[in-house]
């Protein structure tokens, strides 16, 4: 079976992890700060805070921005459920902004209209979470321009997009957002097995995020209630979690990060081959905005005839090609239907979903395999 995504593990990765296993610290040692510095430097952000998953990162990002049971949070319907669940975990209400059918990303125009309406009924969101589907950056400038009119914070869910660029800057530099979140799950661009990171330019958020990832305990708290208690002493000032990344995971991340640009280059080469091979078929490939460079987490195609999708999907799997579909619209998940959402709430996302198919894409995929995948698809269509 050709998988739809696959990690790449080298001897350097193995050595990097083994070194931690025989060192003094399996967790809370030097590898996590080393990984954080490497990420911050790579994306051009002042701060990076590593956690045990992007799901955790999204959760504490919402908490740090003050999302609570009185808040609304808006995200994209064409995403993994974690982009919306983070708000529910804070007790907030979730709503979905429809997507641009050309990219599958949050549509700035739809956002503008929805915000104008929300303002008129006093239900403006506290936070908006655009998602860079497939690694293709959202139109962040337009999204930020609209959101800033209402003083709304922005968390980028860049789980697919480490190594992506927008306006010649790396996604994660937070030029148009408050916080950016990356995932290091093995199907993503670089992996720590499980892991995530938050980046921000806002120094005021850093101690809050670090406290939230570790039980709400802050040893460097400037305002200790009992400053003279002793060196053993720490204080918990708020309710936090244990969302820390271990040094074992961080060591894998440090080692993987050194190959990030090779990975995105390879993914882009393969995407180009797909694009050329598929250009005459009754489908469109989903392409990034012209002023951006995509890390190409997923190779998404949009079939002109959605009635064929399931048949094509099954036949591709029969041919040992693990195609996939990203994503079933989040608002139609049973959990969100129970919150009152209905079919038709995000018509562009729902139509696009019915047409989408994800083809295999990962650095080790060979040009011959891409040919085989395209031949198979061509025969089926
Ligand atoms: C993978 C993914 C997440 C969750 O990442 P984890 O690190 O597995 O928690 C969140 N959002 C999107 C868009 C994702 O693809």
**pLDDT digits over 233-281, tens only?**
999 999 999 999 999 999 999 999 999 999 999 999 999 999 999 999 9
The answer, as to whether pTM is greater than 0.75, is yes
Give the whole-number percent of the chain exceeding pLDDT 90: 97
**Domains of the chain: residue spans and CATH:** 11-257 (3.40.640.10), 260-380 (3.90.1150.10)
What is the per-residue pLDDT across 311-367, written as a single tens digit (0 to 9) for each?
A: 999 999 999 999 999 999 999 999 999 999 999 999 999 999 999 999 999 999 999
Count of Cβ atoms closer than 10 Å to residue 166 Cβ: 27
Mutation test residue for ligand 1: of 50, 51, 79, 82, the one with most atoms within 8 Å of CB? 82
pLDDT top residue among 102 and 218: 102
**Whether residue 310 lies in the annotated active site:** no
Q: How confident is the model at residue 372 (pLDDT cuts 50, 70, 90)?
A: very high
Q: Any residues with Cβ below 6 Å from ligand 1, and which?
A: 53-55, 79-80, 82-83, 131, 157, 159-160, 183, 185, 196
pLDDT at 218: 77
Distance between CA 29 and CA 216 in Å, rounded?
19
Q: Where does residue 344 fall: left (phi above 0), alpha (psi -120 to 50 degrees), or beta otherwise?
A: left
Catalytic member of 126, 188, 266, 302:
188
How far is the CA of 285 from the CAs of 17, 132, 363, in angstroms? 38, 16, 19
What is the per-residue pLDDT across 111-141, written as a single tens digit (0 to 9) for each?
A: 999 999 999 999 999 999 999 999 999 999 9
Helices (DSSP H) in the chain: which residue ranges?
Answer: 11-21, 31-43, 54-64, 82-89, 108-120, 140-148, 203-212, 247-257, 260-278, 309-318, 334-337, 347-355, 367-380
Q: How confident is the model at residue 15 (pLDDT cuts 50, 70, 90)?
A: very high
What is the per-residue pLDDT across 145-180, written as a single tens digit (0 to 9) for each?
A: 999 999 999 999 999 999 999 999 999 999 999 999
What is the per-residue pLDDT across 268-317, written as a single tens digit (0 to 9) for each?
A: 999 999 999 999 999 999 999 999 999 999 999 999 999 999 999 999 99
Q: How confident is the model at residue 221 (pLDDT cuts 50, 70, 90)?
A: low
Give one DSSP letter per residue of 315-369, joined into a string: HHHHTTB--B-----GGGSHHHHTTT--TTSSHHHHHHHHHEEEEP--TT--HHH
Shortest CA distance to 145 belongs to which of 95, 109, 102?
Answer: 109
Query: Are 291 and 136 within 8 A, CB to CB?
Result: no
Give one DSSP letter per residue of 95-153, joined into a string: EEPPBPTTTSSBPHHHHHHHHHHHHHTT---SEEE-B-GGGPPP-HHHHHHHHHTTT-E
Distance between CA 45 and CA 160 in Å, rounded?
18
pLDDT at 223: 80
């Amino acid at each position: 079976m050709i998988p739809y995504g696959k990690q790449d593990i080298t001897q350097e990765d193995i050595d990097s992890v083994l070194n931690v296993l025989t060192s003094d610290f399996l967790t809370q040692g030097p590898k996590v700060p080393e990984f954080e510095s490497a990420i911050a430097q790579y994306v051009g952000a002042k701060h990076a805070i590593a956690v045990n998953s992007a799901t955790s990162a999204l959760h504490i990002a919402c908490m740090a921005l003050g999302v609570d049971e009185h808040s609304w949070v808006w995200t994209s319907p064409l995403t993994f459920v974690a982009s919306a669940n983070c708000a529910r975990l804070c007790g907030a209400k979730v709503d979905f902004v429809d997507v641009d059918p050309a990219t599958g990303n949050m549509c700035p125009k739809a956002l503008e209209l929805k915000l104008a309406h929300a303002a008129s009924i006093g239900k403006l969101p506290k936070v908006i979470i655009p998602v860079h589907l497939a690694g293709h950056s959202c139109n962040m400038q337009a999204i930020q321009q609209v959101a800033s009119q209402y003083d709304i914070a922005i968390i980028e869910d860049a789980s697919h997009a480490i190594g992506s660029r927008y306006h010649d800057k790396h996604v994660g530099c937070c030029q148009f957002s408050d916080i950016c979140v990356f995932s290091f799950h093995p199907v993503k661009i670089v992996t720590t097995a499980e892991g995530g990171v938050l980046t921000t330019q806002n120094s005021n958020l850093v101690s809050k995020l670090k406290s939230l990832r570790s039980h709400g305990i802050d040893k460097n708290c400037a305002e200790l209630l009992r400053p003279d208690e002793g060196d053993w002493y720490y204080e918990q000032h708020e309710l936090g979690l244990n969302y820390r990344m271990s040094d074992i995971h961080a060591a894998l991340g440090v080692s993987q990060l050194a190959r990030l640009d090779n990975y995105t280059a390879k993914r882009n080469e393969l995407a180009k081959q797909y694009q050329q091979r598929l250009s005459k078929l009754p489908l469109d490939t989903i392409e990034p905005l012209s002023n951006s460079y995509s890390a190409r987490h997923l190779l998404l195609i949009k079939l002109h005839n959605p009635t064929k999708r399931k048949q094509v999907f099954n036949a591709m799997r029969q041919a040992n090609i693990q195609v996939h579909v990203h994503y079933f619209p989040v608002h139609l998940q049973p959990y969100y239907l129970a919150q009152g959402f209905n079919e038709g709430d995000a018509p562009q996302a729902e139509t696009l979903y019915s047409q989408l198919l994800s083809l295999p894409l990962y650095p080790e995929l060979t040009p011959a395999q891409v040919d085989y995948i395209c031949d198979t698809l061509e025969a089926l269509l």
